[in-house]
Amino acid sequence: MLIIGSHVSPYVRKVLVALAIKGLIHEVDPITPFFGNDEFSKLSPLRRIPVLIDGDLVLNDSTVICEYLDEAYPQPLLMPASPADRARARWMEEFADSRLGDLIIWRLFYRRIVAPRVYKLAPDEAEIAKVTDVELPAAMDWIEERAPAEGFLFGHLCIADISYACFFRNALLAGWTIDAARWPRTAAWIARVEAVPAFADTIRFETAIVSSPMAERREALIAAGAKLSEKTYGEAAPRASIMLG
């Protein structure tokens, strides 16, 4: 199996953690989506990561990919057992992927980390402050009401737990951390998810990426133990996002 996409993307990380928990051997082509080549555009029509290639099957979207993995390789299951809990888990995951995606990825991480490095754009601190001081805290209040007091959302670890922890890694990389005094249940729950070995193992790849210049990232990832594909769908110059316009 091949996963196209950088380990730092929360959507890619979700898939990589699922693969690791299921013990599925895979390689990664760790590209930042903006650097995808024409072949990448064919595989990923929205030019987004992750993409999973499993034989002749090409899948887009982390939720679609994780549901495929759970059905094709059910040991251990990463969705709850009952239809009602499965539906609840999908909604929790959707809230993270959409709302935390919008706040943490597009309006915080993209502005503070991606745009300055990839497009040489200065971050708009006033816009960032709206996210960190107003909108993200409102989302955190919603999450805090639903965070489990112990264990995970639906008993055993599921994709929704993993999804939340992935977004908070990107928040941390962009300088925002969960205030444990204000959102104690969420802070403790996310710490439990991060401590799961398959999740904790991803941190060294994140460190390798954020601490090396673009040209040295492959070597840094290999040195950290990542299994990378020889073929890459990346190219040297970035293109504009078709999703951000």
Ligand X SMILES: N[C@@H](CCC(=O)N[C@@H](CS)C(=O)NCC(=O)O)C(=O)O
DSSP secondary structure of 157-177: --HHHHHHHHHHHHHHHTT--
Mention every residue, 6+ apart, whose C-beta is less than 8 A from residue 28: 2, 3, 4, 5, 7, 16, 221, 226, 227, 228, 229
Residue 205 found at the interface with ligand X (CB under 6 A): no
30 near ligand X, judged by CB under 6 A: no
In the numeric block, which tokens belong to residue 226? Answer: 């990542």
Rounded CA gap, 29 and 50, in Å?
10
Closest separation in Å from C-beta 36 to ligand X: 9
49 binds ligand X (CB under 6 A): yes
9 sits near ligand X (criterion: CB under 6 A): yes
Q: Give the interface segment with ligand X, choosing from 6-14, 18-26, 116-124, 175-183 (CB under 6 A).
A: 6-14
Regarding 97 and contact with ligand X (CB under 6 A), the answer is yes
Instruction: Give the residue from 203, 168, 215 showing the smallest Cα distance to 188.
Output: 168
DSSP 118: H
Give me the residue whose beta carbon is nearest to ligand X.
241
Name the DSSP letter for residue 111.
I
Nearer to ligand X, 5 or 80 (CB): 5
> Shortest approach of ligand X to residue 179 CB, angstroms?
24
Q: Binding of ligand X at residue 162 (CB under 6 A)? A: no
Q: Candidates 3-11, 116-124, 145-153, 205-213 — which segment interacts with ligand X by CB under 6 A?
A: 3-11
Q: How far is the CB of 69 from ligand X (least distance, A)?
A: 13
Least gap, CB of 20 to ligand X (angstroms): 18
33-50 per-residue burial string, b: 16 or more CB within 10 A, e: under 16: bbbbeeebeebbeebbbb
By rule CB under 6 A, what count of residues binds ligand X?
16
Q: Which of 33, 78, 161, 193: binder of ligand X (CB under 6 A)? A: 33
The whole-angstrom separation of Cα 158 and Cα 80 is 7
Q: Which residues make up the interface to ligand X (CB under 6 A)? A: 9-11, 33, 47-50, 61-63, 97, 105, 241, 243-244
